[in-house]
Amino acid sequence: LKAIRDLSYPIYIEQDNVKTFQEVFSNHVNQSRAFVVTDDNVWTLHRQVFMEMTSNLLIETIVVKPGEQSKSFEVFESLIQTLINKQIKRDDVIIAFGGGVIGDLAGFVAASLFRGISLIHIPTTVLAQVDSSIGSKVGINVSSGKNLVGAFKDPVFVYTFMPFLNTLTTREFNNGMAEVIKAGAIYDGSIIDDLQQKSFDMSILVKAIMVKVNVVKKDKYEHELRMILNFGHTLGHAIEKAHNYDVIKHGEAISLGMKYALLLGEKYGITDASTTKTLLSLFDKYNLLNHTLNDINSYIEFMKVDKKQRQDGLKFVFIESIGKAVIRRLKEEDLYVN
């Protein structure tokens, strides 16, 4: 069991022994019952392991439908109602057991119910393990946009169990790998070397987690540094908005966004061609660039370029060299390629 203690809450990473959870839990929580929020897929696939993991606890389970649609006010409210019906108390604990959707949704419930009750993340996707379970952001979507309602909620701890990843579809696995490649591109170039030389393993997982940990440690509330985590996201979000969220996955959209940011970087003399080549070959390795897009320029209207950004310029993340991101201001007209 590996423990990362750089944030105000520890992140435990377990390679194969699910039994370590019980000790971790009892070291942090003074309770013998827990309310688990999970989705249908995760519960079907991993119920047994979860029960083994928590065999010393009294578990109440709430299973929601898988998918982004569950990050809604309706599901949020029904979850709160169900928890109250199940007699949850202020000093109880909620375990978010699933991907980023469950982490965000159950995390927001934990942040809001009784003005905050304890939260534990057990992330089960690559994306959730390296990204969404770290950094304390939780929230839901509203009709006008994603993640517009939310909070900062520190969990008591995060418990990452690598074997959960074994049941991911190739597409879901690759989707999370986009964030791993991003972590390497913006902060730790050795991740890129590793990915070129070997398949994904615990040491790469830990390195990718450390990138997010280091960035949010220095800048939890997104003043400047945390923005580098948005590499590829300016266009990526625009692509997600223009297409349906179900058609193109987040990791695929941001990979296309990273490709665009690399090419734009070349245009402005920030990124050199060999950096672009190395990173593009990794996106290809994980089948992340398979979507046919409309003319890239047509997405620019979907980028969140508001009136203020039109005047001051939009902060845009470029890669100077592998492992080093830089932020530059661009005017709207500078976003067009060619």
Ligand X SMILES: NC(=O)c1ccc[n+]([C@@H]2O[C@H](COP(=O)([O-])OP(=O)(O)OC[C@H]3O[C@@H](n4cnc5c(N)ncnc54)[C@H](O)[C@@H]3O)[C@@H](O)[C@H]2O)c1
Chain residues that interact with ligand X, rule: CB under 6 A: 39, 41-42, 45, 66-68, 71, 98-102, 104, 124-125, 127-128, 131-132, 135, 137, 146-147, 164, 167-168, 172, 175, 250
Instruction: Return the number of the residue (146 or 241) whose C-beta is nearest ligand X.
Output: 146
Name residue 30's beta-bridge partners: none
Question: Which distant-in-sequence residues (6+ apart) come within 8 Å of 3 by Cβ?
Answer: 10, 11, 12, 13
Q: Which is nearer to ligand X, 12 or 97 (CB)?
A: 97
Closest approach, Cβ 160 to ligand X, in A, equals 11
Comparing CB distances to ligand X, the nearer of 131 and 188 is 131
87 vs 169, beta carbon nearer ligand X: 169
- CB 272 to ligand X: min, Å: 29
Cβ 70 to ligand X shortest distance, Å: 8
CB of 120 to ligand X, least distance (A): 15
Q: CA gyration radius for the chain?
A: 20
Contact 4, 209 (CB under 8 A): yes
Quote the least distance from Cβ 42 to ligand X, whole Å: 5
Contacts of 91 (CB under 8 A, 6+ apart): 30, 31, 117, 118
Q: Which is nearer to ligand X, 99 or 232 (CB)?
A: 99
Using CA atoms, how far residue 45 sits from 22, 39, 41, 114, 262, in Å, is 21, 10, 6, 32, 38
Rounded to whole angstroms, the Cα distance separating 311 from 314 reads 9
CB of 313 to ligand X, least distance (A): 25
Alpha-carbon span 287 to 231, nearest angstrom: 19
SS3 273: helix
Q: Of the two residues 160 and 175, which places its CB atom closer to ligand X in the complex?
A: 175
